[in-house]
Amino acid sequence: MKTRYITSLALLAAVAAVPVSAVAAGDAAAGKIKSFTCMGCHGVASYNNVYPTYKVPKLGGQHANYIVAALQAYKSGQRPHSTMQAQAKTLSEQDMQDIAAFFAQSGE
């Protein structure tokens, strides 16, 4: 639990260090298309994974720089979750920016 807390703090610090101008780098229209796979879990209201049991977070309205930082951490392996790591490894930096822009402006 302590490791998860420290990882969360490190991720929050990374988000705070991202310049505000970097948030606008994504194309929300492209992100809507690129987020199709994401919506299978993150677009389902009150979705809970069966095994292991956990609640899947809603991403709509989340800050874009947080989403980008989280995806980068999954891609590098710094953030643990095998499904998210596999998904993030397929994404380019621009894909991450686009997906983040879509979720930041949507309520989905």
Q: What is the pLDDT of residues 15-36, one digit of tens each?
A: 555 554 444 589 999 999 999 9
Number of alpha carbons in the 13 Å side-chain half-sphere of residue 59: 25
Question: Which is higher by pLDDT, 8 or 41?
Answer: 41
Q: Strand locations in 27-104, DSSP E?
A: 48-49, 54-55
Domain count, the chain: 1
Task: Print the domain residue range for 80.
Answer: 2-19+26-105
Please state whether the predicted TM-score (pTM) of the whole model is above 0.85. Answer: no
Give the tens place of pLDDT for each residue, 31-65. Answer: 999 999 999 888 887 777 776 677 888 899 999 99
Cα 90 from chain centroid (whole Å): 13
**Both tokens assigned to 91:** 């994404």
Q: What is the CATH number of the domain that holds 60?
A: 1.10.760.10
Query: What gap in Å lies between CA 30 and CA 11, rounded to an integer?
Result: 25
